[in-house]
Amino acid sequence: MSRLPFELFLALRYLRPKRTFVSVITLISIVGVTLGVAVLIIVISVMTGFDRQLREKLLGFNSHLKISQGANLFRNYGEVMKRVAANPLVKGVAPVVLGPVLLETQAPDGTGRVWAPYVRGVDPELEEKVTVLPHSILDGKFDLKGNGLLVGRDLAETLELSVGDVVNIHSVGELQRMRKHQGKPDEEAYLGSEYRIKGIFDVGYYEYNATVIVCSLANAQDLYDLKDSVHGLLVMLHDPFKADEVKLQLVRLLGPEFKVTTWIQENSKILRALLVEKNVMFYLLFFIMIVAAFGITSAQITFVVQKTREIGMLKALGASRGQVMWLFLSQSLVVGVVGVATGFGLGMLALHYRNEFLHFMNHYTGFELFPAEIYGFSELPALIVPHDIALICGSALVICVLAGVLPAWNAGRLRPVEALRHE
């Protein structure tokens, strides 16, 4: 005798593969649940991986906190740096000058190109404490001595620049003064400052590689005529996710005249957009499992009709309404368990070999499914979060069981006399 409850025993017996219409629908339902679970696991894990990689790249060139005095210049920044660095959660502090400039290349044929990037003036000795820039040089070296300049990889490709080239940089102040004195006796022509490219960097994020150039803090102060002032301070923390906590501490320490901005606030739009895309993808792909659930409902309804006589016999032998309902709910549960388990295995397998599959497709078809120049990642990122996997598998199982509630309820309410008379 089987030790299984008779409801589950009969459910498993009825689910044995047979060459019937109901068996085909049941198989299709299992395949649907499998695909739904697998696709959801793959997509959500890849989206989570994108989010993690994006945060790492944003934090590589960006600081965790920025301190400024609003529209005013930062004059006593040395004293403020000491007070901020005393916080045990702070890893490093460095001054920065950041603003738009006009960059002009010097082509041999005299046809230079003009671009309007942001110049970032940094202290070479402190930069390593707040960004990954010193370790992100692709060509040349991290050298800002004299009129040394660093440019991003994408900007260098756009302007066809290489290490050793000379460019002219025009500051906003120079252009304003030239326009102010235009047509007057004291009119002057500003030719800009010459800088030599000492290195080309790649911090892993297109926006920074294409729109930012880096020079020494002293040169940037000269470009903006700041004397010994700066635009603000960059603060790096030991834990970037404690940025809000440290922000409150620094606001209380420095006073209301200082403005403290976190990396989450600066990148809130792109991070929110990625979260919205992840949630939308979850809801859209969840409909695959709902479609599979309709297949389970259809199979169960057909099965109840086919087994009407057996239902009558069970009730005549003393089976309760709840036992009959559990018999058919057990079938939905078994279909759900098999589909979810198979989908989980398929999803994990696909995530493990995701990059091998992309390389295979690229090699044999020439079609790159994941262009690195667009997304900025050389490999397809993925992060498996147990909470997300549990949510996907658990919700899929619940949907499968609920799909059998209506047929099970109809089976349980059949009366023995009516069920036997049906035959």
- Distance from chain centroid for Cα 135: 24
Least confident of 95-99, 173-177, 245-249: 173-177
Q: How far is CA 98 from each of CA 44, 95, 220, 280, 282, rounded to the nearest angstrom? A: 37, 10, 8, 37, 40
Report the sign of the C-alpha dihedral through residues 111, 116, 171, 94, in that order: negative
Alpha helix segments (H runs only) across 255-320: 263-266, 268-306, 308-316
d(CA 51, CA 417): 61
Task: Give kind and range of the element (H or E) at residue 150.
Answer: strand 148-152
Q: What digits encode the pLDDT tens for the residues 6-45?
A: 555 555 565 555 555 456 777 777 888 888 889 889 988 8
Domain count within the chain: 2
- The answer to whether position 237 is within a domain reads yes
Q: Looking at the structure, do residues 182 and 157 belong to the same domain, yes or no?
A: yes
Q: Looking at the structure, do residues 159 and 87 belong to the same domain, yes or no?
A: yes
Q: Looking at the structure, do residues 366 and 396 belong to the same domain, yes or no?
A: yes
Q: What digits encode the pLDDT tens for the residues 210-230?
A: 889 999 999 888 888 888 888
pTM: 0.67
- The answer to whether position 194 is within a domain reads yes
Q: How far is CA 415 from each of CA 14, 110, 301, 418, 420, rounded to the nearest angstrom? A: 21, 97, 17, 5, 9
d(CA 55, CA 47): 12
Q: Looking at the structure, do residues 278 and 260 belong to the same domain, yes or no?
A: no
Average pLDDT score over residue span 122-133 = 86
Q: Looking at the structure, do residues 149 and 285 belong to the same domain, yes or no?
A: no
Q: What digits encode the pLDDT tens for the residues 49-75?
A: 888 877 777 777 788 888 888 666 778
Q: Looking at the structure, do residues 69 and 139 belong to the same domain, yes or no?
A: yes
Q: How far is CA 246 from each of CA 78, 258, 262, 269, rounded to the nearest angstrom? A: 19, 14, 9, 22
Taking 60 as the threshold, does the pLDDT of residue 409 lie above it? yes
Taking 90 as the threshold, does the pLDDT of residue 400 lie above it? no
8 Å CB contact between 130 and 67: no
Which pLDDT does position 222 carry in this prediction?
85
* Segments forming the whole domain that contains residue 89: 63-264
Taking 90 as the threshold, does the pLDDT of residue 183 lie above it? no
Q: Looking at the structure, do residues 254 and 359 belong to the same domain, yes or no?
A: no
Q: Looking at the structure, do residues 232 and 348 belong to the same domain, yes or no?
A: no
Integer Rg of the chain from CA: 33
Q: What digits encode the pLDDT tens for the residues 150-162?
A: 999 889 988 888 8
Residue where one domain finishes, among candidates 232, 264, 296: 264
Say whether 272 sits in a helix, a strand or coil: helix
- The answer to whether position 46 is within a domain reads yes
Taking 90 as the threshold, does the pLDDT of residue 341 lie above it? yes
Which pLDDT does position 1 carry in this prediction?
41
Query: From the CB of residue 402, how many other CB atoms can be counted at a distance below 10 Å?
Result: 15
Residue where one domain finishes, among candidates 264, 285, 307: 264
d(CA 181, CA 163): 36
- The answer to whether position 1 is within a domain reads no
Q: Looking at the structure, do residues 84 and 125 belong to the same domain, yes or no?
A: yes
Q: Looking at the structure, do residues 156 and 178 belong to the same domain, yes or no?
A: yes
Q: Looking at the structure, do residues 226 and 361 belong to the same domain, yes or no?
A: no
Least confident of 129-138, 169-178, 349-358: 169-178
7 CB-contact burial (10 Å; exposed 0-12 / middle 13-18 / buried 19+): buried
d(CA 391, CA 154): 40
What is the percent of the chain where pLDDT is above 90?
Answer: 7
Query: From the CB of residue 112, how many other CB atoms can be counted at a distance below 10 Å?
Result: 14
Closest among 204, 176, 420, 151 to 312, alpha carbons compared? 420
Residue where one domain finishes, among candidates 197, 230, 264: 264
Least confident of 120-129, 197-206, 361-370: 361-370
- The answer to whether position 193 is within a domain reads yes
Taking 60 as the threshold, does the pLDDT of residue 422 lie above it? no
Closest among 181, 197, 201, 199 to 189, alpha carbons compared? 181
Taking 70 as the threshold, does the pLDDT of residue 109 lie above it? no
Which pLDDT does position 105 carry in this prediction?
86
Q: Looking at the structure, do residues 120 and 43 belong to the same domain, yes or no?
A: no
Question: Please, what is the average pLDDT of the chain?
Answer: 79
Give the residue, 225 or 367, on which the prediction is more confident: 225
